[in-house]
Homo-oligomer: A and B are copies of this chain.
Amino acid sequence: MASPSQVSRLAVRAALSAGRKASCRAPARLAPIVQARSWSSSQPRRAATKKVKLTRETYPELKRRDNFAQVTAEDVDFFKSVLGSDSAILESISSPAAEADITPFNSDWMNKYQGQSRVVLRPESTEQVSKILKYCNDKKLAVVPQGGNTGLVGGSVPVFDEIVISLGRMNKIQSFDDLTGILVADAGVILEVADQHLAEKGYIFPLDLGAKGSCHIGGNVATNAGGLRLLRYGSLHGTVLGIEAVLPDGTIVDDLSKLRKNNTGYDLKQLFIGAEGTLGIITAISILCPQRSPAVNVAYLGLESFDKVLQVFVEAKKKLGEILSAFELMDSRAQNMIRIHRDLDAGVLEGDHPFYCLIETSGSDADADYKKVEAFLSDIMEKDLVQDGTLADNQTQIADLWSWREGIPEALGHFGGCYKYDLSIPLRELYQLVDDTRERMNKAGIVGSTDEFPVVDVVGYGHMGDGNLHLNVPTRRFDKKVEEVLEPYVYEWVAKRNGSISAEHGLGIAKKPFIGYSRSDNMLGLMRMVKNTFDPNGIMNPYKYI
């Protein structure tokens, strides 16, 4: 058997010389956004001009709440007086021509959700947010906080005529301490801007995801975004040290701590992490950022069974320990779809393998890390846990290997539509759902290679290291029968195993009806109690979440 490094060089070189265009990693990072929608009727950005169905039509069971007021010209005058600048407000109440400017705030980037707000407020300070919210609360005007509007479950756009409060103008990095790695920044700072600011100081934002070029760090915290660095740096509940937020009654939650330890009372900021703007509006965050790792290695492996994937995962945790930074899973179908989509004769490795893993390490010592990865690969090859593998030699190869993970959603999106589920499942059974779903769809006779079958295939991939599966069912067209075979089957399957029906994308409007599959009545009752305590008038991001 060839040594791993030999395999590495040979395979990667062969793949690259076969004419595959090496993609730059940053753009390739678009993937996680796309993979996210639960059902995408496949409107990519370019179709934005197409008439989109109103959310109120998609969800006819939702009725505008009677107790909410409608925005008047008098309200608009008040907002103008607070914001102090005409450019800080877009409204079609006194300026009907402004409707076009409001449109982007009324729809999500997938063009799946479409609201009918007539007012967008763009405050530039926490005090302005406070005055606006207090007024809206007093007047019973419903609001929707909006960050980069890159969400995947319709959480950041209005359903009816809720006022949009956009955080885009609150975009200052307040401070960074290169001794402690603690960053304090406004909610509207774009994730990539924050990360680049940190990169210059040798630090890294502990979160990374495909939408980094557009999403706001405030929105990331409000949705408890997961992304690509969770395996290594943990969740935002651990890394966020402080939050400044405004409650509906205008109270400023001034908890922008820059301390790693502070045991003085309830850790209330935690409630806002993942609350999707239903309790208040996050206006700034303080976050602990780790040192940036100068040495990155990426290996790509072919395996013959999911059982061997599990064994390799255990070995990776043992042998790579503290430098392991990603362990991603792709099935053969996912990789074949990319190969076909890119019109290539072969994938990264020779031949077909039922499963593929992408393993990344990030550390402080290039030589030692490389040796560690080589030793790990030797070991798993000797133990016959992998059939083939390759280890990237340079940045270009690293980007190329990542593209075989990150390119999946794009490759799956070219058939007409795609049912997509973002699930947490106990690790041993992670892939079983894909097999079970495939069997179920085959039995229903709706999967096939010709146009008479609505379903193209059933595909599984995801953040293996986090127990997070993306189950994808690419389809040729919308067909009610497909949905009936899939739902509630998938949710019930996950619920039986105490999994989560939304691992990282949140609830918004899309998953709100399904929360009961992952939370007990007791928990839902307590959540409603908390919601009522913080937002008794229910003006914060209504019709969503719980």
Chain A residues with CB under 8 Å of chain B are 177-181, 202, 223-224, 226, 230, 234-235, 237-239, 251-255, 257-268, 270-271, 273-275, 279, 291, 293, 310, 313-314, 317-323, 362-365, 368, 371-372, 424, 426-428, 463, 466-468, 498-507, 511, 515, 518-520, 522-527, 529-531, 533, 545-546
Contacts and interface: CB of A to CB of B under 8 A. Distances in A.
Given A257-B498, A530-B533, A264 B507 contact: yes
Report which residue of A230, A234, A293, A501 has the largest number of chain B beta carbons within 10 angstroms of its beta carbon: A234
Report which residue of A202, A271, A319, A504 has the largest number of chain B beta carbons within 10 angstroms of its beta carbon: A271
Contacts of A428: 179
Number of copies: 2
Nearest to A372: B365
Contacts of A533: 529-530, 533
Contacts of A525: 251
A252 B525 CA distance: 11
A212 to B, nearest CB: 18
A148 to B, nearest CB: 17
Given A263-B224, A364-B321, A179 B310 contact: yes
B310 A502 contact: no
A234 B238 contact: yes
Contacts of A318: 202, 291, 364
Given A258-B498, A310-B179, A518 B264 contact: yes
A364 B466 CA distance: 21
Contacts of A506: 263
B321 A262 contact: no
Given A224-B267, A268-B526, 7 more contacts: A177-B427, A223-B263, A259-B498, A261-B503, A268-B530, A368-B368, A368-B372
A466 B266 contact: no
A293 B264 contact: no
A275 to B, nearest CB: 6
B526 A261 contact: no
A263 B467 contact: no
Nearest to A467: B260
A515 to B, nearest CB: 5
A207 to B, nearest CB: 13
A311 to B, nearest CB: 10
Given A262-B518, A263-B503, A267-B274, A253 B526 contact: yes
A319 B498 CA distance: 42
A163 B426 CA distance: 39
A466 B428 CA distance: 36
Given A179-B310, A318-B202, A527 B266 contact: yes
A127 to B, nearest CB: 14
Nearest to A317: B291
A251 B546 CA distance: 19
Contacts of A268: 271, 523, 526-527, 530
A507 B505 CA distance: 36
A238 B238 CA distance: 4
Contacts of A501: 264
A506 B321 CA distance: 32
